[in-house]
Every structure is written in C-alpha cells, then in structure tokens.
Amino acid sequence: MRAVGGNGNERAARRCAVAVLACVLFGAASTAAVARPSIGVARQHERSLAGSVADARAAAAALQVRILALAGRVHAAQRALDHAESRLLVAQQGLMTSRTELDAIQTRLDERARQAYEDAGPAATFTYLLGADSFGDLLDRTEMLDRIQAADTAMAAQVRVVAARYAAATTRLGSLSRERGRLFAQVASRQAQLLAAFSAQQDALAQLVGEHRSAVAAVSALERRAAREAGALPFGDWADRFLGQLGAPDCRGNRVVVVAWQANEFTQARWNPLATTHVMHGSTAFNVVGVQNYRSLTQGLRASVATLVGGAASFGYGGIMDDLHACAPAITTAAAINASAWCSGCSDGQYVTELVPIVEAYFGRYARDHT
C-alpha cells in the first residue's frame, strides 16, 4: 500500500515542491534532463516571439492612433470636397444666368440696329432731325435721340458688366473644377494610405501571432515527449485517465483535487504521480520507502486504483472513493485524503488541502504541469 510519511529527505523535498507550486508563475519542473536543452531553446524562442507579439500589439495600438488621425484628415478633405462641389454648382448656375442675360441684351441691341438700318439706312439719325417741321419739334426730336443714345450707352455698359461677370464666372468655374480634382485625388490617396496601413498592420500581427502559437505548440510537444520519456503525463491528463480508470466522473471538483494531489506528491517515480507503493508485475522500487516505478501508464493507473480499492477499509481510502464518485467539492475530497493513511501528517498536516484553493484558482497552469 501507499507509504506513510517517507524519509526526511523525501519530506523536505515535498515541502520545497509545495512552496514552489504555490507560486502563480512557476516553471515546469517535469522535463527529463536529457531533453532540457532542446526544450530550453524552444521556450526561449517562444518567449522571444511572445515579446515580439507584445511589441507588435503596442505598435498596432500606435498605428491605430495614426489611422484615426488619418481618417480625420480624410473626413476633413471630404468636407472640403463637398464644399467645393457646392460652390462649383453655384458658379455653374451663375454662369448660366450671366450667359442668358448677355444673350438677351445682345439680342436687343442687334434688333435696334436692324430696325434703324431698315427704317432710314446709315443716315437715319440725320434724316430724323431734318424731318422736324418746327423748332420745337426739332428740340423734341433731339431730346428723343439723346434718350435713345443714353439708353443704348447704358445697354452697352450693361453688356460690358454682364460680359465681365460671365468671364469671372468662367474663370471661377475653372478654378473650382481644378480644386475639386485636387481634393478628390487627396481623398483617394489618403483612403488608400489608411487601407494599406491597416492591412499591413493586421498581416504583420497575424503572422507573429501564428508564429507564437506554433512556438507554444512546439514547446508543448517537446514537454509531452520529455514527459513520456520520463514516465509522466501532465497532471490534468493523468487525472482524467485516473478518474476514468476508477469509474468516477471527470467533473471540475474531481479534476482539481486529483491535480492538487499529484502536485503535493511531486514525485519523479515513473508513471506513479501519487507515489503509491503497490507492487505490480515488473515494477521496481523508486526509493527506500517502496514507492514504485511502473512499466507503463496503464500499469501505473491500475496500481493507483488498486491501492485505493485495497485500502478502502484498512487505510481509510473508502471515503476518498465515495467523494470522487459523488463528485464532491474538491476541498471535501481533499479533506478525506488528508484524513486517510495515504500520507498522514505530510505537509505539516495540510496534505492536499493547502493546495486545493491554489490549484482551483490557477487550474490551467497546474493541469499542464507534470513531475
């Protein structure tokens, strides 16, 4: 059955392991010595990529600020473009009005000239004056000619004003057309810059994230291979297999307490994370207390289950199995383990129970660890 207590060196090592595991950011202490160099290189590469991802995210955040500023400038340019188009429309309307006025005045002048020519020819004015039959009539005719001449002069002046306004509107229309083209090109250019910057940032970040995920996967693969070579699995994986072998549900409470149990033992015994002393065919002693090295994962699982079943009454392991089958809270099952003879008095009387709250809080980290 499971050894109770163990020698002084083993107890000291276990207390040290518990202290290490109680830290949130603990390093995996499970890899085989022969595999450590390659895992170390992989971990260093992964940390480097993680730093690069963090730097890229910071750069992306800074780029987002610049993109927002660029978007603001694009918006301002678009507003200016809209304003220019509005002024262009007004200028076009003014040009059309001036053109209409100019055409109307020119038509009136042409009509007067035609009528005068048809009535008396080039000497129409002189003939008109000579036709007076009295001095008074002459004065009236002279005044009439003055009014006509003044009207013609005013009309000619109006023609010049309208023609000047038309020329100015034409010039303004050309200027606004060029400004509209410039603003349109500016908006298009800035929009292209925004899209190019955003696309480049996303591509670079996605590539870095992908490389980092690959590095994390490579580290995990190396750790799993090293663990298999050393006769161990991550705590979470072994817990699932152990619960299945025992016929107990793999609920959260059960997984937490079995992981905490392995972490509290923290043994290097092959395929024996709970450090049972149950002898199986071909197993060998790991230490002087009789903790066994098993030949395979399956043999180790069977030995751990056999230890619980065989000591259900004599060593108080029945309460542990009852709690596991009932999917009791992790701390309840931990108290049953602590009350049994599995490792009575270990960890200064807080065997397994002291680790349950920590493992519960950081289960993901503990579940990936192994001895």
Query: pLDDT for 102-128, tens place per residue?
Result: 677 777 766 766 665 555 555 556 666
Q: Amino acid identity, residue 113? A: A
For the purposes of burial, counting CB atoms within 10 Å of the CB of 306, is it exposed (0-12), middle (13-18) or buried (19 or more)?
A: middle
250 in the same domain as 217: no
101 in the same domain as 22: no
Q: Is it the case that residue 40 has pLDDT exceeding 60? A: yes
Lookup result for tokens 């092959």: 270
pLDDT by residue (tens digit) across 289-302? 999 999 999 999 99
State percent of the chain over pLDDT 90. Answer: 34
How far apart CA 260 and CA 357 sit, in angstroms, is 9
67 in the same domain as 134: yes
Model pLDDT, residue 362: 94
How far apart CA 216 and CA 214 sit, in angstroms, is 5
How far apart CA 304 and CA 315 sit, in angstroms, is 14
pLDDT by residue (tens digit) across 275-292? 999 999 999 999 999 999
Model pLDDT, residue 115: 65
280 in the same domain as 203: no
Domain final residue pick, 204, 224, 244: 224
In a domain? residue 271: yes
342 in the same domain as 237: yes
In a domain? residue 43: no
pLDDT confidence tier of residue 29, bands split at 50, 70 and 90: very low
Q: Which residues contact 171 (CB under 8 A, 6 or more apart)?
A: none
In a domain? residue 204: yes
343 in the same domain as 268: yes
Stretch among 74-78, 134-138, 199-203 having the lowest mean pLDDT: 74-78
Which of 322, 345, 165 shows the shortest CA–CA distance to 246?
322
330 in the same domain as 214: no
282 beta partners: none
Average pLDDT over residues 349-364: 95
Highest average pLDDT, of 36-40, 61-65, 204-208, 228-232, comes from 204-208
Contact 334, 352 (CB under 8 A): yes
In a domain? residue 289: yes
Angle between helices 318-325 and 235-246 (to 10 degrees): 100
Domain final residue pick, 224, 246, 277: 224
Which residues constitute the domain of residue 100? 59-224
More confident: 60 or 318: 318
In a domain? residue 51: no
State percent of the chain over pLDDT 70. Answer: 76
How far apart CA 151 and CA 92 sit, in angstroms, is 30
In the chain, the number of structural domains is 2
Average pLDDT over residues 125-133: 65
pLDDT confidence tier of residue 179, bands split at 50, 70 and 90: confident
Q: Where are the alpha helices (DSSP H) in the chain?
A: 8-21, 36-120, 124-130, 135-230, 235-246, 252-265, 297-310, 318-325, 330-339, 356-361, 363-368
216 in the same domain as 254: no
Q: Is it the case that residue 336 has pLDDT exceeding 90? A: yes
